[in-house]
Homo-oligomer: A and B are copies of this chain.
Amino acid sequence: MSDANALEALIQALRRLPGVGVKSAQRMAFHLLQHDRPGAQTLSYALANAAQAIQHCERCHTFTEATVCATCLDERRDASKLCVVETPADQSALERTGAYKGLYFVLMGKLSPLDGVGPHDIGLKKLFDRALDGTVQEVILATNFTAEGEATAHVISEGLKARGLHLTRLARGVPVGSELEYVDLGTIAHALVDRR
């Protein structure tokens, strides 16, 4: 793409974003340079600032700019409940429901043996220490209902069972607002098994 080395460097850097191939990177670079230079500056600053300011919460492991995040510091929360999620985005989805008032542990990943991600990589030791601190009474496994999320939930429940904790899993079932005709059969089968 012309003799602009700065442009080539930008395209290569954009390709480090997940899901961005060379065509997308070219389109992004073109858009920013041709139509949105303030956007390029804003993104440049946001990246440098985030990489510098964001660390992990000491208690729940989510991203935060403080030592302990605001959720963990909130004394109105029920510290006897600990909900285990894969990512901050999953935590955010649960928060938006307004249906949960306990605390969280954010794995920042999931077990994925094929990608070489084992129990150590997702901080299970830290989770186990936290779950067995004497305050937590219920651990709610809210990993995703994918093969990897299910395997992660299984390993956690194996590690915590017979330790006096109440271990629960989010219910599987038919999404609110769906018509059965259009729901996949595995989901319907689970909704039958988990019926109340």
Residue numbers of A with Cβ under 8 A of B are: 1-7, 9-10, 12-14, 16-19, 23-24, 26-34, 36-37, 39-51, 53-54, 57, 62-66, 69-71, 87-89, 91-92, 108-109
Contacts and interface: CB of A to CB of B under 8 A. Distances in A.
Contact of A65 (B6, B19, B29): B6
Contact of A47 (B31, B44, B91): B44
* Interface of A (DSSP majority class): helix
Contacts of A63: 1-2, 4, 7, 33
Given A2-B62, A16-B42, A50 B71 contact: no
Contacts of A48: 40-41, 44
Q: Say how many copies of this protein the assembly contains.
A: 2
A41 B16 CA distance: 11
Given A2-B91, A2-B92, A17-B31, 7 more contacts: A3-B64, A10-B46, A10-B47, A13-B39, A32-B50, A40-B51, A41-B47
A84 to B, nearest CB: 16
Nearest to A93: B1
A47 B69 contact: no
Contacts of A88: 1-2, 7, 26, 30
